[in-house]
Amino acid sequence: MGVEPSIHDRPGTARVLLSSALWAFLALSSAVLFLGALLLWALTRPFDADGRALHLYSCFWAQVYFYLNPWWHLRVEGREHLPWRGAAVLVSNHESLGDILVLFGLYRPFKWVSKAENFKLPLIGWNMRLNGYVPLIRGDHASVLRMMAGCERWLSRGVPILMFPEGTRARDGKMKAFKDGAFTLCVQQRCPLIPMVLSGTALTLPKHPLVFQKTVHARVRVLEPIDPADFAGDVHALRDHVRDLMVREKARMEAERTARG
């Protein structure tokens, strides 16, 4: 059985060089792909106010780095649980910056809730603005209220949103406590909540280092939608149920990966 590399392993020269090449390719390709996004935004805005076409293009943009990297592999299970149309709150655990690339591989319409500083990034941040994703300043009450209002507007238009209920990436890959926001939205908007579990993404790019793991086997499992009506408006009960469900599912996925070797 092979040994899974640790997120704390000291990177070798080959990994550093590969990571440098990947960052350079990401920067150069983003310049070209952003021009495509800008053109698509201008052409589709008159008849696609929700930006569905642009979001799917952004999914392709993110997946390019999986398509062209022979050492990175992504497996998505349960995509059929995700709606093409209709309000829904999608929640996922958060292990790495690589989660963003992975979850774009869902190829379904949704709006990200993301840190406000990400919107300031050249090219990628500009594309986030074109898409109408929702910014958030963590710990800022006024920003939280604006984020909730922005999510409510998209949900009222029948566009799903995607949130990381842990709020930030975990250092050790273990699931942190969940915040209430996603579950409050779900209860208030009376829309389904769809849990998703990531596995293997902590090794793409851990919380602080800029060195990628050479070989990555990332996996996303989309679970069945949950009706908030089953919890009679109890946000905390819904939150705790979903977290317990996701923790169990992640343990199951890790056990399956270990069994496969």
DSSP 8-state class, residue 82: S
**pLDDT tens digits along 59-103:** 999 999 889 888 889 999 999 999 999 999 999 999 888 899 999
Q: Please report, rounded to a whole number, the percentage of residues in the chain having pLDDT higher than 90.
A: 70
The predicted pLDDT at position 1 comes to: 38
Cα separation, 257 vs 217, in Å, equals: 9
pTM over the 0.85 mark: yes
- Looking up tokens 């149920």 gives 241
**pLDDT tens digits along 69-81:** 888 899 999 999 9
The predicted pLDDT at position 3 comes to: 40
Asked if residue 63 lies in contact with residue 101, where contact means CB atoms within 8 angstroms, the answer is yes
Q: Which residues pair with 226 in a beta bridge?
A: 193
What's the CA angle centered on 84, arms 80 and 88, to 5 degrees? 90
The predicted pLDDT at position 203 comes to: 64
Q: Which residues pair with 195 in a beta bridge?
A: 91
**pLDDT tens digits along 152-181:** 999 999 999 999 999 887 666 678 999 999
The predicted pLDDT at position 212 comes to: 66
Query: Residue 254: what are its φ and ψ, rounded to 5°?
Result: -65, -40
Cα separation, 253 vs 258, in Å, equals: 9
Asked if residue 163 lies in contact with residue 219, where contact means CB atoms within 8 angstroms, the answer is no
The segments of the chain whose pLDDT lies below 70 read 1-12, 15, 170-173, 203-214, 261
